[in-house]
Chain A
Amino acid sequence: MEKRRTIAIIPAHNEERTVGDTIRSLLNQTYRTDIFVISDNSTDGTVEVARSLGVRVAETVGNTHRKSGAMNQAIDAITGYDYVITVDADTILDDDYVEIAMEEFRRDHRLGAVCSRAGIIRPTTMNRRERALWHFQHVEYAEFDSSRLERPGEIKVVHGMAAVYKYKALRDVEEFRYRRWEVTGQYFDERSMTEDYELTVCLKELGYHVTVGMGMMAWTEVPLRFNKLWNQRTRWLRGGLETMSRHGWNNATARDIVNAGFFWVMLVFHSLLLTFIIVDIISGIPYRMSPWTGLVLLVLYIDGVYRLKFVQNPVFADMLVKILFIPMIIYTWFNLAVQLYSYYASLLQIRQGW
């Protein structure tokens, strides 16, 4: 097989605790790749940890655009590569991650980017509240995985935690942004809160294919505090809404816009469900579920339990989230609240926490 040159770029902001494991997982790849850590305004030992592992390290200069800005500076500084791997500094890759990505590119010459399935790392110590949040997300990430399998070649987003891009595709996106918005050096959109989704939309608009490598696996950490999870989710959803709004209705965004509309259907259903329960409780009569409500809940239950098979390293608590059903409904209400707030924050341009 023709050898293609790859480089992994790790943007890192105060990641001394985790960046070492990320680098080691890249050093262990079966398909050799260069490694470039770009430290963005770190005040801890991130740079020292990276240097001690013998990889290329640089620091950003005057960057105020977080990960996107760091990535753009890093990509500008590299030459002679065919593929760019972006890896978050709290993410670990399976040893054959890059090798399988190269195989995906070999099979589809119009492929612009490929991402992996995503698992989450289990911390060694967690209190009871953190453990509950971890299990909810553990099950949820399995749902993300299963939805990727529904349409592997038509995924919504090449997620930013670990992805491989064709270098030429990134250059094409940069040129595309210049033609459309007259900005230069922006492989990743510096205005966007979800630069991975925005880049995916650009690639699709340029006619590139994007996919998930079902054999590729990456593992990441997840927020274990409620406010952090809230911030992460509102950032994801708000970034998505703003990207759709900026790009408008086209072949790359049409399905995403229709799916975003489905949120309102869910909101109406769950609002009615909650209202009927509360009214019945206040009236002192036992809640009598309508057959339609029962049918929806039954189908959701079957769907939820079926997707349990995608949970990596499942434990009993993961099963309980789905089998007891009520925790799943409560987590759905949390997600609906996040979405509702995201619309509100986006409309009023409220400052976004990170």
Chain B
Amino acid sequence: MDLLVAVSIIMVANTIFSLLRLIFGEIRLRLIKEEDKRYYWTKQNLWRFRSGR
């Protein structure tokens, strides 16, 4: 059981840090300057539709 607790703590910590990094990454993208948005933001409309090949 101790082993389970140890790996659980590592997994929870790792997943939460990863998720927080992602959310901060998204916030950084939203805060960029207007003239930069063409390069950093236009493809961030995350629900865009593509027909593919």
Contact = CB atoms under 8 A, between A and B. Distances in A.
Verify that A and B bind, or say they do not: yes
Interface of A: 21, 92, 94, 100, 103-104, 117, 119, 121-123, 146-147, 149-152, 213-217, 219, 262, 265-266, 268-269, 272, 290, 292-293, 295-296, 299-300, 302-303, 306-307, 309-310, 312-314
Contacts of B21: 150-151
Interface in B4-49: 4-5, 7-12, 14-16, 18-19, 21-22, 25-26, 29, 38-44, 46-49
Contact of A269 (B7, B18, B41): B7
A27 to B, nearest CB: 16
B8 A269 contact: yes
Contacts of B53: 21, 92, 121, 123, 219
Interface of A is mostly: helix
A216 B44 CA distance: 10
Nearest to B22: A150
Contacts, number: 98
Contact of A215 (B3, B7, B42, B46): B42
Contacts of B42: 215
B25 A150 contact: yes
B11 A269 contact: yes
B11 A296 contact: yes
Interface of B: 1, 3-5, 7-12, 14-16, 18-19, 21-22, 25-26, 29, 38-44, 46-50, 52-53
3 nearest A-B pairs in the assembled complex, by CB-CB distance: A292-B8, A150-B21, A149-B25
Contacts of A299: 11-12, 15-16
B8 A215 contact: no
B4 A290 contact: yes
Contacts of A151: 21, 25
B20 to A, nearest CB: 9
A265 B41 contact: no
